[in-house]
Structure 1
């Protein structure tokens, strides 16, 4: 992670803390709008932990490049990133075998939904946009 990225994260956290002290609620609104509009490619447990701690709701797609159903799910995941307030993360199980094992991913695609830093849902297999959007919306504050 570059110094510029770290400075940006520090600045956002500083603004959130100052907002909480003032009691104006601005930090919460800013945080919700900061969910990226494209999937975040995660490499390793530390990057996943950072992503999960940064956003209230994170949908993590454990996938493999050779997996046909994963390729079918990819447009849906990209659409969710663009259209929901949740952050969407993607983890390549071939490059992150220990991380996949840590979350007991035994087949791909597997989707984990984190809400407030904890695993709230686990979905194995391909699901439609509406199902996944409903699942995300159920956990958004």
Structure 2
């Protein structure tokens, strides 16, 4: 499979995830909220995703990172059970993006509200901490 084919599959999947929940919306004024984390690849995709959702929690992670693996179920639960949309950014595949947001270690979580980064959490977080931060902006 070529890189272009993989990119097309990613784009289609991202669009599917972004559209999750729209059918159940009352009047269409609420943005869709994915119940599963969305994989984000690159700054344009992150910027668009942050603009489309009132509250976006971005998990900067690496596959080789033990704490990132321990945090994954917490992030998935947060996506399913809170008002925030959750995006995941692989720092190995997106080194430039991670650098632009000052990510120096993983896991790093950035919370965006109204398209702007408002909170930064570094290291392992528990579900209660994530819920608390999200509720401040939701």
Fold-level similarity (TM above 0.5): yes
Residue matched to 1:19: none
Helix, strand or coil: the match of 1:120?
strand
> Rg larger in 1 or in 2?
1
Please state which structure has a larger fraction of its residues in helix. 1
Quote the RMSD (CA, aligned, Å).
Answer: 2.0
**Structure 2 unaligned spans of 5+:** 1-10
Map 1:5-24 to 2 at 5 A: 5=15
Scaled by the length of structure 1, the TM-score of the pair is 0.79
71, 91, 94: which one pairs with 1:73?
Answer: 71
Displaced runs of 4 or more, over 2 A: 25-28
- Give the CA deviation at 1:26: 3.2
90, 105, 109: which one pairs with 2:103?
Answer: 105
1: distance between equivalents of 2:100 and 2:123?
19
Map 1:26-105 to 2 at 5 A: 26-28=27-29, 30-31=30-31, 34-105=32-103
1:83-113 deviations in Å (ceiling 9; x for gaps): 0111100000000000000000000000000
